[in-house]
Structure formats: structure tokens, C-alpha cells
A and B are shown apart, each in its own frame.
Chain A
């Protein structure tokens, strides 16, 4: 028995399916996935070359191969490139290609948005690299700590381009995450319950929530830094009352979940690969899935362990030591589950499995050094030393990158129809393992010996030169290994052995179709009774369960998208509001204040306008549901008018402030006020445009026969904007004006 998928009307097909242009204009999730992977490979070559230059400079003490300025730029670019242009896009690329296949769907929920998300990625990459032509690449590190990243200390435009690039990439990531959530919730094949999802899909799902909540925090902080740099404000400049630690708080509120954004999908890949090559179902599926949720929740509560050295106080250190050690527990659970899966299995050490096994070893080393940091006193000793460099490379390279290589060997046959060469693969693997450990294991010792990180050279102290030379030689071996890898990919695409549909005898749905899959992925999806549909297909006698449709809630994909978007926007506004509260609690005397400059009564009147616009919009939705078009249009027009009146009120408020000389860089009240209300105004404007589009389509008669989904989606966004204003009004006009 099979389930034929109904043709989906949302799947646009290009007229032209070959040639370069068909790739540029593609909305096919498989092609977009490959574009992600190839572009990430391109940036990996750049980021890897940068790493080689850094290692060459550090090979000998007192080396003058490159200048300090060049070193700072290259090391900033290396970190930023590897995180934002290599690891994240590669994970997204695999997610794009395989999530729809693994859930038996034909494409992502929003194929066009998917293409947009992808094209933002090269745009961000080029913006970042374009900075080199404007007088210098960014040089404040991938973390851009203030005040180093502020104009007085980074006067070239490098940091501005860095900010713009990360903003663009962040927007792309959020839209991808929204798309993945909507896809996984709404497009699963019949029978594929949420509890039966392949673990890679489940972890991608959880990661997507981390992305929509963590990235906006970074975006808000980046916007503040940009306002500091371009409009001469002082969010993070202590000399004018700003606060440099606030940047660190914001950055690591994003930064620590980011670690798990980069690790969780990799865990998912390992959870797919180890069972297949051990010929056993994953041990403790539920525990692996549940520990993922635990990690995601905890990841938002541990960021301050990146800041033990800044002097948060013993009380805070204690709590964060505890919570940071706690997060090791769910991660440890996963490790034990993977080992237990291998235990007693008939293991086939293909290259994919070798990389997965090496992942276990290297990631445990990285995890253990991570636990040592959780103890504040140890952290004080080794922070900002090469011990940290060793730690995060074990997590991100030995962990995530090894998992990505395992996934490449595992899934390449599905994408290309041909197997990667196992012979070259083994060469690649052993060179990588030797090179990686040679490069980074010795850095633990360098760190303990006291070698600081982020320095372009070092004095000739005992052992430093030798250990650094070992590290550089190791990096060279890794570089050569990467060349073998790339060669393997390009040779095997043309000449590799044909893979067939299911070369590894795996059990998940992507192996139920041809390699590479046809444009529409499946003609029919096998029936799904459990977590391993293809195993069930081969063992019909064990599968006695009747096929039932998913009993999970059914979701409307556009509502899922708007809700997740609203959640993301909430994160952005929460950070702006926190910044306002933070700075207005103790303003330096002298400048304008909320109490002295704002008119609560007048703005209250305009607030009433905005709130009643939510009501009129609600009436419009109701009228449309009842097919009363004239009433719907009238209420919609009333909504737009009320929104415009509110915006005029805001404009009047701004005009009054400007006339009294209060502008964005007057003091921190003015800066936070204009930032918060300005961004809110921008959202109202966007909402008005969206309402205008809805109005135009209503007048054109689009809703005569169709569902009212568009109006409901835009309506939800509009209500959200109004609720945000109520909070802003309370915080800015009522609370701060007392």
C-alpha cells in the first residue's frame, strides 16, 4: 500500500530546467540546497586560506610575515567567515535539501522565500568582503567587542560592512528558520507523526526556534552599534554614559544559543549516520530528542559564562557555573546514546562512519574542556588564552565540521547519484584526524602556558615556538586534507560509482526515491508506520499497524509563518525596550529626559487611534468571513486611516523634539527613544503597506471566493505591532516619565 501525494499547487516549476539561468532562478529546494553547499564550500576555501596565513604567521616567535593590522583583519574575517558563511549555510544547505525529502514532501513550505533566503547569503558574504576595498576589512574580532568596535577605535568602514553583512545574513537565517518550521509542521507525509520524525529533522526543527529567538537579539545589538557608529550615538561608549558590558550581554545572549544552532543539526546528522552504519535503530530515540529540547532551553540561560572575567560578582558567577555545568548533562546523554547505538552493532566503517566516530571522540574532548570553563576560577586562569581556541575548535571543527564531512559522505550519493571515492575518503579522513589533533591539541598546552589569543606574534618563551610549529604543521596537513576532499567531490561527480536509490541500506524516506531525486521528489511515498519506514517496508510481517493520519494538530502554513515571524520580532523589540529601561534608569544629569520632553496626554490620544485600528481590523476580518465585502473594505479603510493618523502623531512628536534640539545623539534618553519608537514606526509603516496591498486585492475581488488567510496573516502582524506599541507607551511615556 502506498500513499500517492496530491499535486501541490504551491510548487512553481521553471519552464527551463537546465543551464546556468535555471540555477539562478530556481525555487527547487534541492537546487537551493546545493547552491548553499557550493557557496559555503567557496567561502570555506577563503576562510581556510585565512587560517593558513594566521598559522604561518604564528609558526615562529617574533615573526613579521604579516603586520599586526593585517593579522587582526584576517583573524576577524576567518572567524566571521567560518561561522556565518561556512558552518551555518552548510547546515542550512543540508536542511534545505534533506528536510523535505525526509518528511516525504515535495518542497519547502515557501519555495520563493527559500530562494530569497539563499540569495541573501552571497549578498552578505560579498558585503563582508567588499569592506577590504573600502580601506580595510573589519578587525575587531567576530564578537566585535565594544568599545573596540566603536568609531574612535575602529575608524575604517570595515566594522560598518561587518554589521551590514551580519544583518543581511541574520535576516536570511530567520526566514530560513521560519520556512523550516512551517515545512516540518505542515508538509509531513501521512503517518509521519511529530514523534516519528527522523532525528535530523527534529533537531533542525528545534534549532529553527533557537534561530528565530537568538538572531533578533544580535540584530538589535548590531543596529545599536550601527547607530553609534553612523549617527554618533553612545550605546556602548562609556565616555558618554554608554555601557560596554551591555554589548557583551547582548552578543552572548545571541552567541551561546548560536553555539547550539551550529551544534544541534550536526548532532542530528550523527544520529542518522551512526544507526545506519551500526545496523541498529538509534538507542533511546526519545532521550536523544528530549535532551535536544533541554539543550535548547538551557542555552538561553548560560551566556554569562562567556563573561566571568568581566567581574559580574560572585553571586552571578555561582549561578552561571551551576547552569553551565547543567547543560553538559543533556549533551552527555546524547553521547551515551550514540555509543550505546554502536554497542553490539555490526559496524561498517565507511568514511561517513569514520567521521561520525571521530566526531564522538573530538566532541567529547571539546565538551570536557568546555566543562572546565564552567568553573569560574579556572575560567579566569585560561580565558583569552589558546586553551579557549583549542576548546572551540574541538567543538566547532572536531564536532560540527566532522559531522558535516560525515554527512557529505553519507548524503552525496543521494544528491549526485554517485558515491564519493572511499579510497580518497579514507586518505581525507586520516589526514584530517592527524592534522586536526596536531593543530589544536597542542594549543591546550599553549593556553595553560599562558599564550594569549588574538595576538599577532609572541616572544620566544620556552616551548612556545615548538608547540606553535607543531600546530602550524598540523594546519598544513588539514589544508592538504581539504584539497583531497574537494578533489574527491569533483572527481566523483563525474566518475564515481553509481549509487542506486539506497546505497547504505538506510531507513529514512530520502532513500525511497531515486538518486538524485526527480523534480517532485516522490511519485509516491511508502506508508509510514514508525520511525524507520523503509525497514518496515522490508519487514512487512512486523508492521501490523494500520496507517493512521497524523493525529497532531493541523496547521495553516501562513499562520505558522506569521506567528514565528512575530516571535522573532518580539525578540528584537524586547532588546530595544531593555536598552531603553537600562539607560533611562540612571541618566547622567543635564540632558533631555522622558519626563521633560514627552507629552503623555497627546501621545495617549494617538495610542487610542492605534489600538482602535486593531478593533476595526478585527471587524474587517469578521465581515470578510461573512462575505460582507463592502463592510470589510470600509473597516479596512478605517484601519489604514487610523494607522496613518498615528504615524502623523509620531511625526509631529519628532518635529517638536527636533525643534527643541533633541536629536538621536543628544544623550542616551534621546538615542534609546528614537531607536525604539523609530523602529516601531518603521513596523507600522510596513504594516500600512501590507494593509494597502490587502485592500487593493480586496477591491480587485481576490477574496470573493478564496480563503481569508492573507488578511488574517497581515492582521496578526498588525495586532502585534499594536501590542508592541502599548508596551512602548507604558515603558516610555508612563513609566519613564514619572
Chain B
């Protein structure tokens, strides 16, 4: 098989992904009263990244072939799809979420812990191997990432401003999460720890290993290093962008109160 073959042939027909896409599109269309708004584009982007993570060859390679593909999938489901989906919502929302978001605001450590433990738990050797081999565990992993990701991002990007943490607290919330995933990224990248042993010796069901190992130059060690770096640098970039968003909110909220500041000459 060739590189082209991987991109054309390793698509994964995942019933779970298709079901999720259909249900969420249906719910979203209903919440928007079937009208297109600029927000629809955000939702479509979320769907697109969801598809890259769960249907595209990234998903195929994540099934026991490449640790880095698994990591890409992991990050998309945890750090890209949920925030985009949250941003695509408008303020009207089910009233049942009210008490949950009040709880999250009072105990931000809990959504924070969910988001961070989603990173750490699924990279425990046993769980990571199980998810790469067993379809059921893998589905569970994908759903849990989406759920934990949504929980994590809710206090930051909840549709209604009153459900969000104060800007300074948001910065701290995201910064500490960035540190936590940096730590894991560092361990995966530089340490001799074998995170998911399954990726070291994949069962080559589709005969693509020669392409991955030789043409792509991804030895098992380099594959793990790439995965660690993905977890570390791009995901911290996501947190960084969100932090800048929080700083912007900090100054936005107080702008109308700032009297004589705006650039006046004396």
C-alpha cells in the first residue's frame, strides 16, 4: 500500500460517529429553529473536525497503528470539537443545564479535573492499549472525551456569560490545565516510558506498516515522540488562544467603565 492508498483506503465507517453526527445535527438545527446563522459555520467546523477524528484515515491509523494519530484524535475530540460546538450555541439553552453550570462555577476544580484526567487516564498503559484494540472501549473513549471536553470548556465558553468563570479565574483555569498537559506531553516525549505498548508492534491488518515506518519515517520511538509533542505544543496553543480570549473579555467587560483613558493627549 502507498501513502495515497492510506488516504483513500483507511476511512473508517464508524456507526457511532455517524449516529453522533446525525443526532447532534438534528438537535442543533432544532435549537437554531432551522435557520442558518454565522454560528452554523462554527458547528459545521466542529462536525468536520469530529469527522477527521472519527471517520478519516486519522481514525483508521489510530486503531492500533500510530500513537501520534491516536493523539491527534484524542486532542480533536477533547480540545477542538467541544469548544467549537459550545461556541456555536446561542443563549437559549435547556433549563436543565442551569443547576449543572451553577455547580461547575462553584466548584471549577471538578470540570477542570474532568478535562485534565481525560488526558492522563486514557494514557495509562492498560486503558490506552484496550482502547486501541477493543472497538467497544474505543467508542467509550471517544464519547468520554467529548463529554469530559464539554464539561471542561463549559465554564469557559458557556453560551450565557453568567455561566462563565470571571476572566482572571478563567486564565488561571486554562493556564493550570496547560501546565498539566505539558507535564504529560513531556513524559511521553522524552521519557523511556512506553505509553501504549500496542503501538510499538502493531498488527498490520492492512499492510501499511512499511509505508509508515519507511516512507513516513515513523519508527515506534519517533511516533511516540510525535504524539507527546502533539499533546504538548498544539494543545497548549489551544489553551493559549483561549487565555487570550479571556484577557480580551477582561478588558471588554470593563471598557465602558474606563473614563478618560483612551489615548487622550495631555
CB distance from B95 to the nearest CB of A (A): 27
Residue among A530, A535, A567 with max Cβ neighbours from chain B (10 Å):
A530
- The interface residues of chain B lying within 8 Å CB-to-CB of A279 are 265-266
Can you list 16 A-B pairs, Cβ within 8 angstroms, ordered by A?
A: A193-B254, A195-B251, A249-B186, A249-B190, A279-B266, A286-B247, A293-B247, A319-B229, A320-B233, A529-B259, A535-B260, A535-B266, A542-B259, A544-B259, A553-B168, A582-B191
Residue in B225, B226, B264 whose beta carbon sits within 8 Å of that of A542 in the complex: B264
Complex Cα spacing A539 to B265, Å: 11
Residue in A298, A313, A529, A574 whose beta carbon sits within 8 Å of that of B260 in the complex: A529
- B160-186 interface (Cβ within 8 A of A): 166, 168-169, 171, 175-176, 178-179, 182-183, 186
> Would you call A4 an interface residue if the criterion is a C-beta within 8 Å of the partner chain's C-beta atoms?
no
CB distance from A507 to the nearest CB of B (A): 8
Complex Cα spacing A106 to B79, Å: 44
> Would you call B192 an interface residue if the criterion is a C-beta within 8 Å of the partner chain's C-beta atoms?
yes
Taking a contact as CB atoms under 8 Å apart, the answer to whether B251 and A280 are in contact is no
Taking a contact as CB atoms under 8 Å apart, the answer to whether A316 and B258 are in contact is no
A312-B190, A542-B259, A545-B257 known; 9 new pairs, CB 8 Å cut-off, are A195-B254, A196-B254, A286-B248, A286-B251, A297-B175, A300-B236, A301-B233, A544-B259, A582-B193
Query: In this complex, what residue of A is CB-closest to B225?
Result: A315
Residues of A whose CB lies within 8 Å of any CB of B are 193-196, 209, 213, 245, 249, 279-281, 283, 285-286, 289-290, 293-294, 296-298, 300-301, 312-313, 315-316, 319-320, 322-323, 326, 529-532, 535-536, 538-539, 542-545, 548, 552-553, 567, 574, 578, 581-582, 585-586, 735
Q: What are the 6 tightest A-B residue pairs by CB atom distance, in nearest-first order?
A: A529-B259, A195-B254, A585-B193, A545-B259, A290-B247, A530-B259
B interface residues, tally (CB under 8 Å): 46
Taking a contact as CB atoms under 8 Å apart, the answer to whether B192 and A586 are in contact is yes
Given contacts A293-B243, A294-B243, contact A316 B189 (CB under 8 A): yes
- The interface residues of chain B lying within 8 Å CB-to-CB of A552 are 166, 168
Residues of B whose CB lies within 8 Å of any CB of A are 124, 166, 168-169, 171, 175-176, 178-179, 182-183, 186-187, 189-194, 222, 225-226, 229, 232-233, 236-237, 239-240, 243-244, 247-248, 250-251, 254, 257-266
- The interface residues of chain B lying within 8 Å CB-to-CB of A581 are 187, 191, 193
Given contacts A213-B179, A316-B229, contact A281 B259 (CB under 8 A): no
- The interface residues of chain B lying within 8 Å CB-to-CB of A542 are 259-260, 264
- The interface residues of chain B lying within 8 Å CB-to-CB of A297 are 175, 178, 236, 239-240, 243
Complex Cα spacing A315 to B222, Å: 7
Given contacts A294-B243, A535-B266, contact A301 B257 (CB under 8 A): no
- The interface residues of chain A lying within 8 Å CB-to-CB of B247 are 286, 289-290, 293
- The interface residues of chain A lying within 8 Å CB-to-CB of B250 are 194-195
CB distance from A199 to the nearest CB of B (A): 12
- The interface residues of chain A lying within 8 Å CB-to-CB of B258 are 195-196, 530-531
Complex Cα spacing A539 to B226, Å: 58
CB distance from A546 to the nearest CB of B (A): 10
Query: In this complex, what residue of A is CB-closest to B247?
Result: A290
Complex Cα spacing A578 to B237, Å: 23
- The interface residues of chain A lying within 8 Å CB-to-CB of B191 are 578, 581-582, 585
Complex Cα spacing A581 to B176, Å: 21
CB distance from A314 to the nearest CB of B (A): 8
- The interface residues of chain B lying within 8 Å CB-to-CB of A578 are 183, 186-187, 191
Residue in A294, A545, A582, A585 whose beta carbon sits within 8 Å of that of B244 in the complex: A294
Taking a contact as CB atoms under 8 Å apart, the answer to whether B192 and A574 are in contact is no
- The interface residues of chain A lying within 8 Å CB-to-CB of B264 are 281, 535, 542
- The interface residues of chain A lying within 8 Å CB-to-CB of B175 are 209, 296-297
- The interface residues of chain B lying within 8 Å CB-to-CB of A538 are 266
Query: In this complex, what residue of B is CB-closest to A535?
Result: B266
Query: In this complex, what residue of A is CB-closest to B185?
Result: A301
Query: In this complex, what residue of B is CB-closest to A282?
Result: B263
- The interface residues of chain A lying within 8 Å CB-to-CB of B190 are 245, 249, 312, 316
Complex Cα spacing A298 to B124, Å: 27
Given contacts A297-B240, A323-B233, contact A285 B254 (CB under 8 A): no
Taking a contact as CB atoms under 8 Å apart, the answer to whether B182 and A301 are in contact is yes
Taking a contact as CB atoms under 8 Å apart, the answer to whether A531 and B261 are in contact is yes
Taking a contact as CB atoms under 8 Å apart, the answer to whether B192 and A316 are in contact is no
- The interface residues of chain B lying within 8 Å CB-to-CB of A245 are 190
Query: In this complex, what residue of B is CB-closest to A286?
Result: B251
Query: In this complex, what residue of A is CB-closest to B190?
Result: A249
Query: In this complex, what residue of A is CB-closest to B252?
Result: A286
Query: In this complex, what residue of A is CB-closest to B226?
Result: A315
Complex Cα spacing A286 to B250, Å: 9
Taking a contact as CB atoms under 8 Å apart, the answer to whether B192 and A313 are in contact is no
Given contacts A290-B247, A315-B222, contact A543 B260 (CB under 8 A): yes
Taking a contact as CB atoms under 8 Å apart, the answer to whether B240 and A294 are in contact is yes
Taking a contact as CB atoms under 8 Å apart, the answer to whether A574 and B183 are in contact is yes
